């Protein structure tokens, strides 16, 4: 008999998980639910619902991929229908204790994926409550691997750090792309040329890092010839205190994540 997994919410994350599981977990049946019919039509799902109560019927696992501010209304509507099921939440800032209270389930997992999950290259940090069985934990890990890689933590406070590092990380990467393109335009390149410079430089560098066993510091040193242009640029970044600025930004993101926890 197939495991049945319900995905509640077909936005960026819900859709990413649906596509990833459809490709890599063909042994499971996937129910996907969203109030927006256009989102469901875009997924071409075999089992699509606009009513979450119908979507979770007879399921083994429920993945909550809705906005945190929608959680109270949604879970009140389901009125205890999640009790006894494994509930996986990708809602930012919703603690395990809050999830157990709102869902009335002892088996809950709090997870933080990131946007590259849309391309099957996401990273999901997660933590399970004590009520999650070994079998459920293995199924959850398989689910996360369907959209990339995963890191299980054993201290819930680390979820704030993974949120700031990995969850927000794609925004930092894209900011560098924006800055490269902006500087290229100032140096006389067209917008199209500037976009190409930024995109291909960063994508190529990411692919190099992905396919190479060398550390980032070794690859950086390979680019920075002694007395060359790269060394001059890196020296300027060091003198400007880039490390301290970047670490402070991460610290602020961690602090904000803690403020938003419920």
Domain at 4-154, CATH class: alpha beta
C-alpha to C-alpha distance for 54 and 66, rounded to whole angstroms = 17
**What confidence score (pLDDT) does residue 71 get?**
87
Domain locations along the chain: 4-154, 169-260
**What confidence score (pLDDT) does residue 69 get?**
86
C-alpha to C-alpha distance for 49 and 178, rounded to whole angstroms = 39
Q: Dihedrals φ, ψ of 53, to 5°? A: -65, -40
Contact yes or no for 80/101 (Cβ under 8 A)? no
**What confidence score (pLDDT) does residue 1 get?**
53
Query: Concatenated DSSP letters for 166-202?
Result: IISHHHHHHHHHHHHHHHHHHTT--HHHHHHHHHHHH
In CATH terms, 169-260 corresponds, of 2.60.40.420, 1.10.3730.10, 3.30.390.50, 1.10.1660.10, to 1.10.3730.10
The pTM assigned to this predicted structure is 0.92
Question: Each residue of 40-61: b (16+ CB within 10 Å) or e?
Answer: beebebeebbeebeebbeebbb
Per-block mean pLDDT, blocks of 10 residues, the chain (262 long): 89 96 94 94 94 95 93 88 94 93 95 97 98 97 98 97 97 98 98 98 96 93 95 97 97 94 88
């Amino acid at each position: 008999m197939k495991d049945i997994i319900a995905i509640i919410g077909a936005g960026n994350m819900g859709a990413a998980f649906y596509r990833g599981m459809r490709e890599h977990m063909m042994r499971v049946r996937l129910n996907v639910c969203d109030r927006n019919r256009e989102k469901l039509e875009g997924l071409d799902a075999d089992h699509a619902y606009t009513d979450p109560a119908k979507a979770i019927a007879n399921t083994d696992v429920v993945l909550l991929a809705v906005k945190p501010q929608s959680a109270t209304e949604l879970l009140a509507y389901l009125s205890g229908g999640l009790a006894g099921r494994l509930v996986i939440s990708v809602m930012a800032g919703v603690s395990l204790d809050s999830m157990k209270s709102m869902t009335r389930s002892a088996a809950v997992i709090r997870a933080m994926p990131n946007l590259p999950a849309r391309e099957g290259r996401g990273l999901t940090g997660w933590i399970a409550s004590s009520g999650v069985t070994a079998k459920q934990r293995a199924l959850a890990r398989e689910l996360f691997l369907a959209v990339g890689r995963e890191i299980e933590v054993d201290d819930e406070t680390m979820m704030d750090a993974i949120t700031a590092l990995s969850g927000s990380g794609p925004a930092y990467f894209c900011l560098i792309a924006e800055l490269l393109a902006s500087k290229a335009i100032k140096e006389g390149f067209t917008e199209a040329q500037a976009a190409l410079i930024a995109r291909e430089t960063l994508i190529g560098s990411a692919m190099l890092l992905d396919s190479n066993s060398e550390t980032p510091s070794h690859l950086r040193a390979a680019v920075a010839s002694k007395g060359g242009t790269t060394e001059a640029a890196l020296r300027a970044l060091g003198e400007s205190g880039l490390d301290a600025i970047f670490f402070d930004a991460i610290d602020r993101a961690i602090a904000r994540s803690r403020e938003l926890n419920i």
